[in-house]
């Protein structure tokens, strides 16, 4: 893990004057790999594919594995773990005394490129991320195969999407759409209204994905990494 020095940033949803504070925290340098996840389920057998309850994961959970403890023929042991639900990802982090990152923590780190803590205004920043979105099967690549960003973190972009602790906070109910409070403007249900950067297509796609997720979904392009509070 490495230290992420906290600060403020302007999220995609909200006015230009909205500043979100992020406290200091530690983040895993890499997403969780197949190798580390195998070690985890040896210790927590309730998360084996044959044991998983439908309440906690859909039918795609570890679908490409040959068995409870054996990867598929085309899966690298050092590739990021995918096809795992939010419930499993959360328990993995909890087991290690860590947790999943919040959306704000993840976006705060992800807005960095190799040299700048906030590279969102660079045309090349969005182009690079959108270029990754067009590449097939990057989830089969090994962790650490993308660039190291300003915070010495790898694979925030270019490998897999990642679960966040509060991924479902981008959702609003039908009743909420009738509300006129300021908070309602922060969510994806408001579409492009009130966004701070209409050209940040990469962030729009991330928020759209989060807004479509259910905690038990297990997608082949969705992995996770852990963070830790400094007082833990």
Residue 131 has pLDDT above 60, yes or no: yes
The rounded distance, in Å, linking the Cα atoms of 122 and 200 is 10
- Residue 143 C-beta-side C-alpha neighbours within 13 Å: 22
**175 — pLDDT class (breaks 50, 70, 90):** very low
State pLDDT tens for residues 47-58: 999 999 999 999
Section 30-44 average pLDDT: 97
10-24, 37-51, 131-145, 179-193, range with the lowest pLDDT: 179-193
What pLDDT is recorded for position 40? 98
Under 8 Å CB-to-CB from 67, ≥6 apart: which residues? 49
Q: Mean pLDDT, the chain, as a whole number?
A: 87
- How far apart CA 181 and CA 17 sit, in angstroms, is 16
The pTM for the full model equals 0.86
Output b/e per residue, 154-180; b: 16+ Cβ within 10 A: bbbbbbbbbbbbebebbebeeeeeeee
For residue 186, name the pLDDT band (cuts at 50, 70, 90).
very low
Q: Residues near 59 by Cβ (< 8 Å), separated by ≥ 6?
A: none
Phi-psi region of 171 (alpha: psi -120 to 50; beta: other; left: phi over 0): beta
Residue 144: pLDDT above 60?
Answer: yes
- The whole-number pLDDT of residue 24 equals 98
* Structure tokens belonging to residue 62: 């570890």
Going by pLDDT thresholds of 50, 70 and 90, the confidence category of residue 12 is confident
CA 203 to chain centre: 12
Residue ranges with strand state E in 79-120: none
User: 91-109, pLDDT tens digit by residue?
Assistant: 999 999 999 999 999 999 9
CA angle, 7 then 13 then 19, to 5°? 25
What local confidence, expressed as pLDDT, does residue 199 receive? 57
Phi and psi torsions of 128, nearest 5°? -65, -45
Answer whether CATH 3.40.1440.60 is correct for domain 1-232.
no
The alpha carbon of residue 120 and the mean position of all alpha carbons in its chain are separated, in whole angstroms, by 18
Using the predicted structure, report yes or no on whether residue 150 has a pLDDT greater than 60.
Answer: yes
* pLDDT value for 15: 54
């Amino acid at each position: 893990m490495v230290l992420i020095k906290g600060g403020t940033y302007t999220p995609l949803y909200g006015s230009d004057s909205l500043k979100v504070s992020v406290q200091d925290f530690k983040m895993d340098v890499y997403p969780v790999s197949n190798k580390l996840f195998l070690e985890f389920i040896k210790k927590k057998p309730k998360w084996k594919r044959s044991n998983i309850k439908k309440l906690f994961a859909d039918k795609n959970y570890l679908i490409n594995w040959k068995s409870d403890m054996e990867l598929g023929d085309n899966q690298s042991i050092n590739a990021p773990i995918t096809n795992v639900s939010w419930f499993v990802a959360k328990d993995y982090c909890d087991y290690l005394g860590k947790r999943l990152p919040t959306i704000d923590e993840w976006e705060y780190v992800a807005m960095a490129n190799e040299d700048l803590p906030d590279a969102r205004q660079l045309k090349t920043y969005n182009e690079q991320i959108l270029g990754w979105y067009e590449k097939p099967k990057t989830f089969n690549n090994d962790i650490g195969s993308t660039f190291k960003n300003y915070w010495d973190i790898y694979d925030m972009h270019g490998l897999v999407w990642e679960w966040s602790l509060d991924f479902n906070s981008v959702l609003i109910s039908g009743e909420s759409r009738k509300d006129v409070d300021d908070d309602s403007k922060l969510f994806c249900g408001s579409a492009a209204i009130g966004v701070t950067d209409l050209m940040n297509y990469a962030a729009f796609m991330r928020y759209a994905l989060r807004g479509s997720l259910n905690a038990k979904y297990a997608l082949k392009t969705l992995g996770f990494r852990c963070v830790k509070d400094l007082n833990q």
